Copies of this chain bind each other. A is one copy, B any other.
């Protein structure tokens, strides 16, 4: 399975190969975070506001029970805190800790490096072209769910 002569092989094959390579290196960067890529996404979402657990679960396309387990680990690692929601005593707001914010900042820097590494084989102009074309396609195809979920789907396929 070097260079495909077949069918699906075309766009699908290339798309999956590149995505797979991206996932592999991203997983390495995020291997130290509880929940891996998911944990990172929780941190990123928590930085943007103070979402409740349910809001977080919906945003990331996860079951709320999975979110409970995931947050248990992130809390244990001291990256986030659960605080009572003053407006609704049933809900918990998720806040980044100082350590969580520092961790997130570091991860974001390393993820940018990963992208640059992945695109390195292309010329600068080509990298921009690819980014632009993919971004345009991505906004038009818009599938329900999230990018993280893609990893699940790809594996199942």
Residues of A within 8 A of B (CB): 1, 3, 6-8, 10-24, 26-27, 36-38, 40, 44, 48, 59, 108, 111-112, 115, 118-119, 121-122, 126, 129-131, 133-143, 145-157
Contact = CB atoms under 8 A, between A and B. Distances in A.
A48 B7 CA distance: 12
Contact of A26 (B20, B135, B157): B157
Contact of A20 (B12, B23, B147, B155): B147
B119 A11 contact: yes
A134 B14 contact: yes
Instruction: Report whether over half of chain A's contact residues are helix, strand or loop; otherwise say mixed.
Output: helix
Contact of A15 (B11, B18, B37): B18
B108 A137 contact: no
Contact of A155 (B118, B122, B149): B149
Contact of A130 (B20, B23, B130, B150): B130
Most buried by B among A21, A40, A133, A150: A150
Of A27, A112, A115, A151, the most chain B CB neighbours within 10 A belong to A151
Contact of A148 (B10, B115, B157): B157
Given A10-B115, A11-B134, A140 B121 contact: yes
Nearest to A135: B14
User: Which 9 residue pairs spanning A and B have beta carbons closest together?
Assistant: A152-B155, A151-B157, A154-B154, A151-B154, A16-B147, A21-B141, A17-B138, A20-B150, A150-B154
